[in-house]
Amino acid sequence: MILARGYTASPSSTTDNNNNNNNNSNNNNQALIPTWNDYFKIRSRRRLFEIASYAPSTIFPAAFTGSYFMQMQIDPTTTIIGMDPLMAAGIATVGAGFCGFLAGPVFGDVFFKLLNRKYVPEMDARDKAFYEHIKKNRADARLNSIRNPVPDYYGEKIQSVADYRSWLRKQREHYRKGVFGGSADDLDN
């Protein structure tokens, strides 16, 4: 299990000097995020950056679009795309705010990566390893039903190794319910 054992992102070492230098730099990267719990803490901090960027990325585009339309000369007898000019301006303002809202997490992630450049290579490697592990261990979505929904399919709620172990138990429970048609408690009877 990748989360219980030590994490190695480097390939097997050889006697070549270039590989030794690469291994030393990988060891330095590993020292930045030594445990999976540290990775989960940094991951949650990255998510906070993404959430905090929602407000400014929504408000600024809407405000700039609204101020543009407020200063525009409007002829009330003409139409814009078949609509009243004020309706078109309102829809464009709301649309700009919505597009900013959708782009907010991207801006937050970029801002996090700019402030934490030393963690970026290790975080990317750990993200890839973590999501590969999630894909390998999650329950089959074909067993999904109204009474048996898939628990946290992408592992978004995992904040620690203990949460990961709990997630694994929930995935196994979902599989048992889907295959056997009941809970694990029903299997004992």
- Return per-residue pLDDT of the chain as tens, 189 residues: 445 444 444 434 334 444 444 455 455 544 688 899 999 999 999 999 999 999 999 999 999 999 999 998 888 788 888 888 889 999 999 999 999 999 999 999 999 999 999 999 999 999 999 999 999 999 888 888 888 888 888 999 999 999 999 999 999 998 888 887 655 554 444
At residue 123, the pLDDT reads 93
At residue 106, the pLDDT reads 96
Q: Estimate to the nearest angstrom the gap between the alpha carbon of 91 and the chain centroid.
A: 29
3-state secondary structure the chain: CCCCCCCCCCCCCCCCHHHHHHHHHHHHHHHHCCCHHHHHHHHHHHHHHHHHCHHHHHHHHHHHHHHHHHHCCCCCCCCECCECHHHHHHHHHHHHHHHHHHHHHHHHHHHHHHHCHHHHHHHHHHHHHHHHHHHHHCCCHHHCCCCCCCCCCCCCCCCCHHHHHHHHHHHHHHHHHHHHCCCHHHHHC
Contact, 10 vs 168, CB < 8 A? no
- Distance between CA 113 and CA 110 in Å, rounded? 5
Contact, 93 vs 66, CB < 8 A? yes
pTM across the whole model: 0.70
At residue 29, the pLDDT reads 46
At residue 140, the pLDDT reads 85
Identity of the residue numbered 189: N
